[in-house]
C-alpha cells in the first residue's frame, strides 16, 4: 500500500513528515532518510492496529432543506456598521497576542 507523505524542513534543519491519510500522525527526525524511515515505521504500526471499513449508505437519504433554520433576513444586516472593521481588527490583535504567548 502506498501513502503520500509531506516532508518539510524546519528552521532548525530537522525534517517534519506529515501523513495526510493519517491526519493525526506526524513524525520528525534529524535528516530526510531518518524521517522517511520513521514515517514508514509509524505508518506500519498505526496500520497494524487499525481497521479500514467502507460503510454503505442508502441511496435515498433524506434531503436537507438548506433554507430551514437559516436566518437569511440577517445576512448583510451589518453592511453599514462603521465599527465592524474595528471589531475584527481588535479580534486579530488579541489573537496575535495570544499566539505570541503560547
Residue 35 buriedness (CB in 10 A; 0-12 / 13-18 / 19+):
buried
Over residues 17-39, mean pLDDT: 93
Helix ranges restricted to H, 19-80? 32-48
Contact 4, 20 (CB under 8 A): yes
According to the model, what pLDDT value does residue 35 have?
96
Q: How far apart are CA 28 and CA 44, in angstroms?
A: 16
- Read off the C-alpha cell for 68: 430551514
Mean pLDDT rounded to a whole number for the chain: 84
According to the model, what pLDDT value does residue 102 have?
46
Domains in the chain: boundaries:
6-48
Assign 65 a pLDDT band (cuts: 50, 70, 90).
low
Amino acid at each position: 500500500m502506498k501513502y503520500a507523505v509531506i516532508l518539510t524542513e524546519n528552521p532548525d534543519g530537522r525534517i517534519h513528515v506529515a501523513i495526510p491519510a493519517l491526519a493525526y500522525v506526524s513524525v520528525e527526525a534529524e535528516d530526510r532518510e531518518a524521517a522517511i524511515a520513521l514515517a514508514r515505521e509509524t505508518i506500519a504500526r498505526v496500520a497494524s492496529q487499525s481497521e479500514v471499513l467502507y460503510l454503505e449508505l442508502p441511496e435515498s437519504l433524506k434531503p436537507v432543506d438548506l433554507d430551514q433554520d437559516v436566518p437569511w433576513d440577517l445576512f448583510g444586516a451589518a453592511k453599514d456598521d462603521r465599527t465592524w472593521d474595528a471589531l475584527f481588527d481588535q479580534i486579530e490583535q488579541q489573537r496575535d497576542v495570544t499566539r505570541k504567548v503560547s
